[in-house]
Amino acid sequence: MKPVGVLDIGGSKILAGLLSPAGHVLGTRRAPIADRRPRCVAGQAADLLRDLLGARRSALRGVGCSIPGPLDRKTGRVLLSPNLEWRNVPFGCLLSEALHLPVAMDDDARCAAIGEWWRGAGRQARCLLYIVVGTGVGGGLVIDGRPVYGADDAAGEIGHTIVAPSGPRCSCGQRGCLEAVASGPAIERAAWAATTPGRAPFTVTGAGAKLLRITAEQVVKAARRGDPTTGRILDRAGAYLGRAIANAVTLLNPDRVILGGSVARAAAWLWLPRLRQSVRELSLATAASTVRIGLGSLGETAGLVGACWTFMRMEDNGASRMG
Amino acid sequence: MKPVGVLDIGGSKILAGLLSPAGHVLGTRRAPIADRRPRCVAGQAADLLRDLLGARRSALRGVGCSIPGPLDRKTGRVLLSPNLEWRNVPFGCLLSEALHLPVAMDDDARCAAIGEWWRGAGRQARCLLYIVVGTGVGGGLVIDGRPVYGADDAAGEIGHTIVAPSGPRCSCGQRGCLEAVASGPAIERAAWAATTPGRAPFTVTGAGAKLLRITAEQVVKAARRGDPTTGRILDRAGAYLGRAIANAVTLLNPDRVILGGSVARAAAWLWLPRLRQSVRELSLATAASTVRIGLGSLGETAGLVGACWTFMRMEDNGASRMG
């Protein structure tokens, strides 16, 4: 059976994969984005898929693509991508032209949610809330076997629910969004603010006396080593995440909450117990007693698996190539 | 075609109705609950339906029942109803026995949400959030043509999402739930707290010098007449409601938010502009620009219409009588 080509387009990298139509990963390849112009990204992605396919002497069934939203799923148009500096880009059409294949697209956090529900830690969940914490904070919902898209394909944006009304300004323009207090950059800013000029508040491996940047990874490592300042910073971010999750648990009564993303994976040792405690204390008892909270099991392939599902679903519905 | 018998069981009253299988109201009857014992309520409800049916010389197709949750929909068991003082009551079976008919049951707020989506102000909504503000604050969600039940039939409880972390204690045991700051009793408590002993902070029609109780209705009336204290109290409750709605709009990207319940209907003149402003200011822009916020169009029959849908849906699925 022909494999499905899948892509996860990030702000600076492309992850490409070949998956069986049942969602099993046959191979992946990763490359930094060489040129951000949409046609170049589409061409580079097509080349990565052709490379992967080369050894197999097979044709692709079609392509599923996970990309940072907001986007119009039906036309494959990326409405805005600050990291890629794209605005209103018909990326689905460009990909489809480059590969002469049908393309299905969805938001990256929703793809990862679908992937974990279909083949990962959320299998058989009746109501799954997925949250990715990395450079941003995103989310996706799968309820009763269907992804939740919302009225404009924008459902799932837990990162922009407000958890600290008088908190810091978020990139979206609001104040006190979860993303503004719990994303990687938010943690870095908090660590930087706790730093006397040029000196880290904790031992930064590899940094000299003159500190130019603190990464979330360094903060997590320092906290894990027992550094109290970074421990407090990370715990505070986890507490905000816990508030947002607790309210979503009360509102939606999910059986599974799954975390993904580089920051959540690194901070899981501290955050998972914290989040379980928040949900026990801040959610309605019925909902709190049911929900299980944990990390995803697919790691960075979750988005690829979800993109494969999205393509297979489009094929089932008889939709044809974008354009 | 045989009509569907529908019931909306409240804490102190029964509203019964006959509906066409398409959800049109043929007649309703209301009675205060004479005796709270479950078998007596089931008997009284059955009598009301028989009365309604009497003139029509028709048989009922079956019964749909809206009842305050939490409940187990599949078995028709009411897990806890503080107002009726019921715990773990197989009310669906009792009704089914009293009427010798199949019975479908669901939570009252979810029934009202379904009613407004099926035949009311939320027709054709892709993603509908319904919120009832009365003695309590409840909610229901209908997404892509399906009610959201959650893992334990407990989805929709927006009234117990926390909007004021250091706010007053809620009946559910948590602190700062929306219900604890925006329900009728919460508004009454706030008005009472602003009252010097025995004297209302505003002119209460019909109250003498010795004030024993302030009702939410009186608060709304005084605010509408321009009384500043009650105006502030009501506006504050509306601001909390706005926060909860804004976060739900960001998370779910609904096209419709519909309000129902006695307090929301009375306070709509003040609250609707307030809520629209909150959503503009506190929701992600894409979601905020789409959502329309308004009152339901079915009034107190929303729950009956939703109960009818719930029964018809059970019949379509081939489920038979509970018991």
| Cα→Cα distances B48→A236, B32, B302, Å | 56, 11, 19
Greatest pairwise CA separation for chain A in angstroms: 61
DSSP bridge pairs for B15: B8, B30
DSSP bridge pairs for B71: B78
pLDDT at residue B200 tops 80:
no
- Quote the CA–CA distance of A41 and A9 in Å, as a whole number: 9
Q: Among A153, A155, A285, whose Cβ lies nearest the Cβ of B252?
A: A155
Q: Choose the weakest-confidence range: A20-34, A56-70, B198-212.
A: B198-212
Q: Among A155, A246, A252, whose Cβ lies nearest the Cβ of B253?
A: A155
pLDDT at residue A323 tops 60:
no
pLDDT in tens, A231-266: 999 999 999 999 999 999 999 999 999 999 999 999
H-run or E-run covering B240: helix B228-252
Q: Choose the weakest-confidence range: A172-181, B74-83, B204-213.
A: B204-213
For residue B266, name the pLDDT band (cuts at 50, 70, 90).
very high
Per-residue confidence (pLDDT) for residue A315, from 0 to 100: 93
pLDDT at residue B1 tops 90:
no
Give the chain A residue nearest B243 (alpha carbons).
A162
| Cα→Cα distances A252→B102, B104, B243, B307, Å | 29, 22, 17, 21
pLDDT averaged over every residue in chain B: 93
For A286: left if phi > 0, alpha if psi spans -120 to 50, otherwise beta; the answer is alpha
Instruction: Calculate ∠ Cα A46-A49-A52, nearest 5°.
Output: 150
Provide, as residue numbers in chain A, all residues whose Cβ is less than 8 Å from the Cβ of B148: 127, 143-144, 252
Cβ neighbors of A39 (< 8 A, separation 6 or more) are: A94
- Quote the CA–CA distance of B21 and A4 in Å, as a whole number: 45
C-alpha distance from B255 to closest chain A C-alpha (Å):
5
Q: What is the ipTM of this complex?
A: 0.94
- Quote the CA–CA distance of B67 and B70 in Å, as a whole number: 9
- Quote the CA–CA distance of A183 and A49 in Å, as a whole number: 31
Contact B151 A250 (CB under 8 A): no
Per-residue confidence (pLDDT) for residue B323, from 0 to 100: 40
Q: Which amino acid is at B96?
A: S
| Cβ contact A18:A64 at 8 Å | no
Contact B154 A287 (CB under 8 A): yes
Cβ burial of A167 (10 Å; 0-12, 13-18, 19+) is: middle
pLDDT in tens, B238-260: 999 999 999 999 999 999 999 99
Q: What is the 3-state secondary structure (H, E, C) of B95-123?
A: HHHHHCCCEEEEEHHHHHHHHHHHHCCCC
Q: Are strands B103-107 and B86-89 parallel, antiparallel or unpaired?
A: unpaired
| Cβ contact B96:B58 at 8 Å | no
pLDDT at residue A207 tops 80:
no
Contact A143 B143 (CB under 8 A): yes
Give chain B's domains with CATH numbers.
4-107+301-316 (3.30.420.40), 121-296 (3.30.420.40)
pLDDT at residue A10 tops 80:
yes
pTM value is 0.94
